Amino acid sequence: MVDRDHDRWLFKGDTELGLQGRDASTPAIQRRSSARLWGLVSLLGLVLLVHRLWPGTSIISCAFPGQRGVPVIEVCPQVSAIAPSSHASLVESLDQEYATEEFKLKAYESLGGAVRIPTECYDDLGSPLEDPRWKVHFDFHTYLETRFPRVHSSLRRTKVNTYALVYHWQGSDDSLKPLLLAAHSDVVPVNPATYEDWINPPYSGYFDGEWIWGRGSSDDKPGVIGSLTAIESLLERGFEPTRSVILAFGIDEERGGITGASAIGKYLLETFGEDSISMIVDEGGSGFSDQSGTIFATPAVAEKGYMDVRMDVLTPGGHSSRPPKHTGIGILSNIVTELEAHPHEPELVRGRTYYQGLQCRAKYDKGFPPELRKLVQESQYSDGKLHDLEARLLDFDPTFYAQAGTTQAIDIVGGGVKVNALPEAVWAIANHRIADHSSPSALMDRFASIVLPVAAKHNMSLDAFGEVISADGPAWGQIRLSDAFNTALEPAPVTPTTGSGPYELLSGTILSTLKTNLRTDEFPSSAVVSPSLSLDTKHYWNLTKHIFRYGHRGATDSYNGAHTINEAIRGEGFLEQIRFFTRLILNADETDLLG
């Protein structure tokens, strides 16, 4: 039942209705009864409309508040923990093994050894057959072969586009769609200037008794090593799957997967066909965190869009002793200043994933401010309250800007060749993660509208993504806007949640893994699963509509995040990832929730 104090999610009209002992046969009472009947019918119609527009809600009651009232809409419904039943003794035995110091040290070293292989990914990588910087992945292949011998003798391994890896663990029942676990072995480069700032060397893979240090220890070699460790352990116990399991390991996720994941996606589509996978679980920015004593696990069920916009400023050259009022670098700076002066504003949209996650927090987070909880409740049917909530979130939730709107970051700049020569061509690249309610075309239109006044101010023509807008009179130069790497991406289709078998299986497995954790720290006993949004699986959209981006790791299990100095993962956090993969494989093997 819904808690009537702070978890009662009701629509407008929360008042008790009753005849209070009067004769219902009188005309006045009949009229009031009729009015109530028609009001209830109208309200039920509204409820059904809301449920259709916002599928993350569920109709659970038509009882009036205080025993009588308006229909109740269940927000953020939860499932029970799901643990293997026919494989119960196996998972219990593996948990006992995972808890041993011998297993932990072996698993931590497996990850540490993977970290010691610097599989750095660069934006300008050439073809795998031509660019020698790819060859480090051969070393990584060899390492996996020696570290996981049973996997490589029992599973079919396919090298896709030379370096990407796909493992196929054949199940006994071909009628069951396979489970796909995805990860990537590439890492962002380490800036040599920061080497001295690392507590332990960036490719040491050192375990200090608590943390495993090094680039890739968080993003995303735990996904690769964790899933392989789980399967190696299952093979050691003689487990043979009923449902096939596929592992897909990309090699350039850090630049969009244009060489690895794109080739893997094509290979899987050609091998298995469209809609051939029961569910995909990939890495994501989401894991779980402690919110006022309740664990919130947040698998991503939606992905933002993506676009890198390149800005080229082309101007006449010449000797710097006779400079114009503004050089190309000055004009580029003007563009960047205008872009940062007009950031994208986040927008709260009912039914979108961020809004659904906010409803979960308001319902289950005991530390959620009561006035905000009330706004979340009222925003379900009031546009005014929705806007009030939006304004409050700007200060309350640090993730609101990044989650609910399009983000913009000027990350790369270049130009100029000599201190006494005017720069003829300068450029910068802005990275965008496009809101799930927007699109690349909307981004391009907005970008051009901000840059056009700058072009006019400096008497320059503007080439905005192929559409040329001439200057008034002879142009002094040109500003050119383009898709930097031709990787513009629409927001992803949203994965079904409430009432969806794969989502229920994933949620139940997460809760089961949390409930039985082997951690030694003080870990909360209550947990909920809440949808979120992320990136990373664009190349697999045709394989299934059930795609989840989730790394089973706590927010405090990363020492300093990813893509920065002192990347490290807590050993016990990595161990829980191995346990999650184990339980997911076993649950998927015996469930009737998957196709």
Report, as residue numbers or ranges, the catalytic residues: 186, 253
Say how many CA atoms lie within 13 Å of 504 toward its Cβ. Answer: 11
Collapsing DSSP to helix, strand or coil, 24 comes out as coil
Instruction: State the Cα–Cα distance between residues 108 and 571, nearest whole angstrom.
Output: 7
C-alpha closest to that of 418 among 315, 312, 325, 319: 319
What are residue 67's phi and psi, to 5 degrees? 80, -25
Which residues, other chains included, contact 187 with Cβ-Cβ below 8 Å and sequence gap of 6+?
118, 119, 120, 121, 215, 216, 219, 221, 254
Instruction: State the Cα–Cα distance between residues 167 and 164, nearest whole angstrom.
Output: 10
Give the burial class of 481: count Cβ atoms within 10 A of its Cβ; 0-12 exposed, 13-18 middle, 19 or more buried: buried
* Residue at token pair 């990373």: 536
Q: Which helix (H) or strand (E) holds 592?
A: none
Cβ atoms of 171 and 178 closer than 8 Å? yes
Here the tokens at position 228 are 């392989």
Q: Which helix (H) or strand (E) holds 433?
A: strand 425-434
Instruction: State the Cα–Cα distance between residues 53 and 55, nearest whole angstrom.
Output: 6
Collapsing DSSP to helix, strand or coil, 511 comes out as helix
C-alpha closest to that of 184 among 573, 510, 539: 539
Instruction: State the Cα–Cα distance between residues 321 and 299, nearest whole angstrom.
Output: 58
Say how many CA atoms lie within 13 Å of 513 toward its Cβ. Answer: 30
> What's the order of all strands across the beta sheet hosting 300-303?
156-160, 164-169, 245-250, 179-184, 279-282, 547-549, 300-303, 532-534
C-alpha closest to that of 267 among 124, 168, 137: 168
Instruction: State the Cα–Cα distance between residues 332 and 413, nearest whole angstrom.
Output: 9
Here the tokens at position 331 are 């004009």
C-alpha closest to that of 435 among 411, 402, 395, 398: 402
Give the burial class of 463: count Cβ atoms within 10 A of its Cβ; 0-12 exposed, 13-18 middle, 19 or more buried: middle
Angle value at C-alpha 124, between 119 and 130, nearest 5 degrees = 75
User: Cα dist. 461→448, 482, 492 in Å?
Assistant: 12, 14, 35
Here the tokens at position 456 are 């006019």
User: Cα dist. 318→314, 421, 422, 424 in Å?
Assistant: 13, 6, 5, 8
Collapsing DSSP to helix, strand or coil, 438 comes out as coil
Query: Tell me, what DSSP letter sits at residue 194?
Result: G
Collapsing DSSP to helix, strand or coil, 420 comes out as coil
558 DSSP β-pair partners:
569
Pairing of strands 279-282, 568-570: unpaired
